[in-house]
């Protein structure tokens, strides 16, 4: 583990810990406020993210940005990362060995950011962070606390593109996040 961003970011340059490195254009490390109180964790980069080198810039990211705007969340004030840092072929779900290869990078990001709240976007983020026994359908919208961090599982924005009825749950979950954040901030004043 690295105790600073510079060393952590250097450590991933040229990473070849798994087979995803063979098809990548860019490592998609993370973006946002490195001291954020709220962190979002998704699955992995898609084609747009791989091309640009930033998470959530494609269609799903645009949808997430709309939700942020509606809730008064400044994208620059949160930190956004993914389970895997390289794009899986055809945007498939990352395989377990690929996720395991990247998890130390993500754990180090969480350690450096020290968020109060982590929003887990979709099943892959949920299972890799809280455990295989969790299912997104049963867990979304329900707070879990672990090692002093509050976790809110919700739908991945890409799922909203496939099933618009999930937008209502996603919105409600993010509203819960903002309410909890406001509650936490009022206690620290």
- What is the separation, in whole angstroms, between the first and last Cα of the chain? 32
Burial of 21 (0-12, 13-18, 19+ CB in 10 A): middle
Three-state DSSP at 90 gives helix
Kindly report, residue by residue over 24-75, the tens digit of the pLDDT. Answer: 999 999 999 999 999 999 999 999 999 999 999 999 999 999 999 999 999 9
The CATH number of whichever domain residue 65 belongs to comes to: 3.40.470.10
Ranges of residues in the chain with a pLDDT under 70 are 189
Question: Which domain covers residue 90, as residue numbers?
Answer: 5-188
What six digits make up the tokens of 64? 């997430």
Q: Is the pTM of this model over 0.85?
A: yes
pLDDT at 189: 66
If one counts the domains in the chain, the total is 1
Query: Which position has the token pair 């377990």?
Result: 96
pLDDT at 107: 97
pLDDT at 152: 98
What six digits make up the tokens of 151? 């976790």
pLDDT at 187: 87
């Amino acid at each position: 583990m690295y105790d600073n961003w510079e060393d952590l970011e250097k450590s991933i340059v040229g990473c070849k810990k798994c087979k995803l490195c063979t098809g990548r254009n860019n490592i998609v490390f993370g973006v946002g406020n490195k001291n954020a109180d709220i962190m979002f964790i998704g699955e992995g980069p898609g084609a747009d993210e791989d091309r640009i080198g930033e998470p959530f810039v494609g269609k799903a990211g645009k949808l997430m940005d709309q939700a942020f705007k509606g809730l008064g969340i400044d994208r620059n004030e949160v930190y956004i990362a993914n389970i895997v840092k390289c794009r899986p072929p055809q945007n498939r779900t990352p395989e377990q060995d690929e996720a395991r290869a990247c998890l130390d990078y993500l754990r180090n990001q969480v350690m450096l950011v020290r968020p109060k709240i982590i929003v887990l976007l979709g099943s892959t983020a949920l299972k890799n962070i809280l455990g295989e026994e969790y299912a997104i359908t049963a867990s979304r919208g329900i707070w879990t606390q672990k090692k002093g961090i509050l976790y809110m599982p919700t739908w991945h924005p890409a799922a909203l593109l496939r099933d618009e009825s999930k937008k209502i749950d996603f919105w409600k979950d993010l509203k819960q996040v903002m309410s909890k954040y406001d509650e936490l901030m009022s206690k620290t004043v």
